[in-house]
Amino acid sequence: MESIKKIYRMGVGPSSSHTMAPNRAARRFLKKYPGAARYRVTLFSSLAATGKGHLTDKAIEEVMGSRPLEIVWKEDETLPLHPNGMQFDAFDSHGERCGHWEVYSIGGGALMSSDETELNSSRVSYPLTTMEGLLLHFQKSGNSFWGYVDQCEGPEIRDFLEEVWDTMKGSLERGLEQEGIIPGGLGLSRKAKSLFAKSRMLRSDFRTNGLIAAYAYAVAEENATKGTIVTAPTCGACGVLPAVLYHLFHTLKPSREDIVKALATAGLVGNVVKFNASISGAEVGCQGEVGTGCAMAAAAAAQLMGGSIRQIEYAAEMGLEHHLGLTCDPVGGLVQIPCIERNAHAATRALSCCHFALLSDGVHKISFDDVVAVMKETGQALPSLYRETAGGGLAKAYRGA
Ligand code: SF4
């Protein structure tokens, strides 16, 4: 299992799989073939279907600069290993192909080459890769989720997670200040600032829900406008975890160290999903993105609120379970509708899952690992229309304002 650094990638949105990863792939290809006379990038399946809305072409053009570049969109063709396939070609001045690379964007900004090697992988030693294995280990050793992350990654992970927290907080606070139209053509206005202003005047439950929604909108709107965010575990789901942490940061007033520990726990939860199923909307639908984000946030909240190991697992399990079957059908291929609002709902749900777990003794019938397995199976059974092609569901129903 990889470092949790791959769950938390700091960078520019709006999509970890459609902008961050293609941008990285283009950099890599250009480094290998810097002197070609002309370049061609072919995008397949989901990358081609939603690439324009997700700004995939812009992410590649940004790297290629003024070099001659052709981008070919093949939404009806799928490469063998993953729906998000890309082929990079370089040509010399005689038009002969002098370089070729087939590569896949496999979710959360990660790249995999055609020999199925994950590129730039930073494998650290996580001998335990299932939740059940982790729980048994914690029971025997007295260790904790965050303690296990420390043990596997080394103490330097703390510095990294501090930077993650600062970046999350930065995008959230920036997002709360912004107004105006989100680019892309849907004419969607930013709402975070107004939600925040109105929610502060409310009382009790309404206020909490309103504030958490405002926080999630703030980050997701930053993502949609190409602001810097942290994947958690993807760009599309980047608002859920920061919203919950920011709310608890202001209400419970935990130490910075406690926030870092909560991020470690959430990262481990996301890693277990990524390793055993997928966090890619193109592969398993939104259940893998926002569903995983909700599980991560619920676990982090349960830990911050003093939950036991079993209660933390239960909170995470509910966070994912109640997103099972959730499709990915972004309107216009943009990470806006339903994505932004969905982050807000997942954030409030994460807190409910946490509360519910804390009210229980943590004992329940369906395990987190079971839900992860079902999520994978459900995702694979979803017709491809509902896996980030922007061809079905809400994307099809939308007729414009
Ligand atoms: S619907 Fe969900 S998975 Fe699809 S782009 Fe939006 S946030 Fe990502």
Domain boundaries, the chain: 4-113, 131-399
Measured from the CB, is residue 57 less than 6 Å from ligand 1?
no
Which atom of ligand 1 is least distant from the CA of 289? 3
DSSP 188: P
What pLDDT, in 10s, does the model give residues 140-158? Answer: 999 999 999 999 999 899 9
Q: What are phi and psi of 85, to 5 degrees?
A: -100, 150
If one residue of 182, 221, 235, 286 were mutated to test the ligand 1 pocket, choosing by the most ligand atoms within 8 A of its CB, it would be: 286
Q: Is the pLDDT of residue 206 over 70?
A: yes
Residue 287: what residue type? Q
> Mean pLDDT score of the chain, rounded to an integer?
95
Q: Is the CB of 346 under 6 A from ligand 1?
A: no
CB of 221 shorter than 6 A to ligand 1? no
52-70 exposure pattern, b = at least 16 Cβ within 10 A, e = fewer? bbbbbbebbbebbeeeebe
Report whether residue 317 contacts ligand 1, using a CB cutoff of 6 Å.
Answer: no
User: Does the beta carbon of 354 sit less than 6 angstroms from any atom of ligand 1?
Assistant: no
Taking residues 297-312, what's their average pLDDT?
98
pLDDT of residue 56: 93
Fold type of domain 4-113: 60s Ribosomal Protein L30; Chain: A; (3.30.1330)
| CB 283 less than 6 A from any atom of ligand 1 | no
Would the pLDDT of 204 be above 90? Answer: no
Quote the pLDDT of residue 52. 85
Q: Would you give the distance in Å from CA 166 to the centre of its chain?
A: 18
Q: What is the pLDDT of residue 203?
A: 85
- pLDDT tens across 265-297, in order? 999 999 999 999 999 999 999 999 999 999 999
Residues making up the chain, counted from first to last: 401
pTM score over 0.75: yes
Tokens 């109105």 appear where?
Answer: 198
Closest CA to 64 of 34, 104, 84: 34
pLDDT > 70 in the chain, percent: 99
Tell me the mean pLDDT in the region 12-28: 92
Q: What is the best residue among 17, 50, 328, 340 to mutate for testing ligand 1's pocket, by most ligand atoms within 8 Å of CB?
A: 328
